[in-house]
């Protein structure tokens, strides 16, 4: 089945991008509402229901592309790896919210663009502009300062940034359509998530395989698949008409909203260690942004 879509205007693309990053920035509110469920179980539900909703979407919107991806063994392996990496990212984020580390999660997504630059240098042999080198060094200084002063390595931040960066690297090398590819990714990890839910429920007193007793929590767990799929759909629509550099600026909405939620809504600690660390990372992002504005994008080494 195919549909003829009217090409979006630039302003419509901006709206979709804003919706996407605002939704991602407000995710902590949703995950905080799911109580009494271990983070790993919430992750398993998210995978199961994301696959369910994405399958419905692909069935009606892009079935042939999905089938084409499934028929390629090498591509299946690569998308399976991507599925594992993005699942790890989802799980770490859910844990961060549940354990009151929203500020640290926000730091991770501020660091992410700089991790992307570093991964491009290591794996794609991309040369870095001088300002991009300075950006990476400033972020590193911030992390080291935080670790030494606070006495705790910000592993949540670094793991979130690294897993999302590796996921982006895998997606870049595959160069596939977003929604069908994500459907295949979730399909590859779906059996493990489903098996885990059945396994953990086997010794419990519940009468259904994996639903909790609370109807509200059950509904939220089901909706976790929908809130996973919809922002990605919005992102895919915006990416069709908006330059990636513009999306790069808008993406800062996400960690900014997370930071504000963590501090002012959930009253997480934001001491001097965090302030100095964030200041170095923000300074690095300024250098990174200026390098983009000047058109000094990375170039592929010959």
What confidence tens digit (pLDDT) does each residue in 103-162 have? Answer: 999 999 999 888 888 888 888 787 878 888 899 899 999 999 999 988 888 999 999 999
Contact of 256 with 105, CB cutoff 8 Å: no
Whether pLDDT at 65 is above 50? yes
pLDDT, residue 2, reads 40
Q: Of the given ranges (28-32, 238-242, 269-273), which has the lowest mean pLDDT?
A: 238-242
Better pLDDT: 26 or 36: 26
Indicate the number of domains in the chain: 1
On whether residue 72 sits in a domain, the answer given is: yes
Per-residue burial over 2-14, b if 16 or more Cβ lie within 10 Å, else e, is eeeeeebeeebbb
pLDDT in tens, 270-288: 999 999 999 999 999 999 8
On whether residue 137 sits in a domain, the answer given is: no
On whether residue 2 sits in a domain, the answer given is: no
For the chain, the average pLDDT equals: 87
On whether residue 148 sits in a domain, the answer given is: no
pLDDT, residue 299, reads 39
pLDDT, residue 237, reads 83
On whether residue 90 sits in a domain, the answer given is: yes
On whether residue 18 sits in a domain, the answer given is: yes
On whether residue 254 sits in a domain, the answer given is: yes
Whether pLDDT at 206 is above 60? no
> Which structural domain range is residue 173 located in?
10-120+154-266
pTM of the model: 0.88
Better pLDDT: 67 or 204: 67
Q: What is the 3-state secondary structure (H, E, C) of the chain?
A: CCCCCCCCCHHHHHHHHHHHHHHHHCHHHHHHHCCCCCHHHHHHHHHHHHHHHHHHHHHHHCHHHHHHHHCCHHHHHHHHHHHHHHHHHHHHHHHHHHCCCHHHHHHHHHHHHHHHHHHHHHHCCEECCHHHHHHHHHHHHHHHHHHHHHCCCCHHHHHHHHHHHHHHHHHHHHCCCHHHHHHHHHHHHHHHHHHHHHHHHHCCCCCCCCCCCCHHHHHHHHHHHHHHHHHHHHHHHHHCCCCHHHHHHHCCHHHHHHHHHHHHHCCCCCCHHHHHHHHHHHHHHHHHHHHHHCCCCCEECC
Whether pLDDT at 221 is above 80? yes
Name the band, by pLDDT with cuts 50, 70 and 90, for residue 204: low
Q: 126 has which bridge partners?
A: 300
């Amino acid at each position: 089945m195919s549909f003829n879509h009217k090409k979006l205007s630039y302003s419509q693309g901006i709206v979709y991008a804003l919706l996407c990053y605002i939704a991602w920035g407000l995710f902590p509110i949703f995950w905080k509402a799911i109580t009494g469920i271990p983070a790993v179980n919430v992750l398993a539900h998210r995978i199961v229901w994301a696959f369910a909703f994405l399958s419905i979407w692909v069935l009606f919107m892009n079935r042939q592309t999905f089938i084409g991806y499934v028929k390629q063994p090498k591509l299946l392996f690569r998308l399976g790896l991507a599925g594992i990496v993005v699942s790890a990212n989802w799980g770490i984020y859910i844990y961060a919210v549940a354990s009151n580390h929203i500020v640290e999660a926000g730091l991770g997504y501020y660091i992410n663009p700089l991790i992307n630059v570093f991964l491009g240098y290591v794996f794609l042999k991309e040369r870095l502009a001088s300002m991009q080198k300075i950006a990476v060094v400033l972020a590193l200084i911030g992390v080291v300062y935080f670790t030494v002063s606070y006495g705790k390595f910000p592993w949540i931040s670094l793991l979130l940034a690294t897993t999302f960066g590796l996921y982006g690297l895998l997606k870049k090398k595959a160069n596939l359509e977003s929604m069908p590819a994500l459907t295949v990714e979730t399909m590859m990890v779906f059996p493990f998530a489903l098996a885990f839910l059945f396994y953990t429920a086997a010794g419990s007193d519940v009468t259904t395989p994996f639903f909790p007793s609370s109807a509200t929590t059950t509904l939220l767990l089901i909706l976790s698949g929908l809130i996973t799929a919809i922002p990605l759909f919005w992102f895919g629509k915006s990416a069709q008409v908006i330059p990636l550099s513009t999306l790069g600026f808008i993406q800062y909405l996400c960690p900014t909203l997370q930071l504000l939620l963590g501090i002012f809504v959930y009253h997480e600690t934001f001491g001097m260690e965090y302030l100095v660390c964030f200041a170095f990372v923000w300074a690095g992002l300024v250098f990174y942004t200026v390098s983009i504005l000047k058109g000094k994008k990375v170039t592929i080494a010959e």
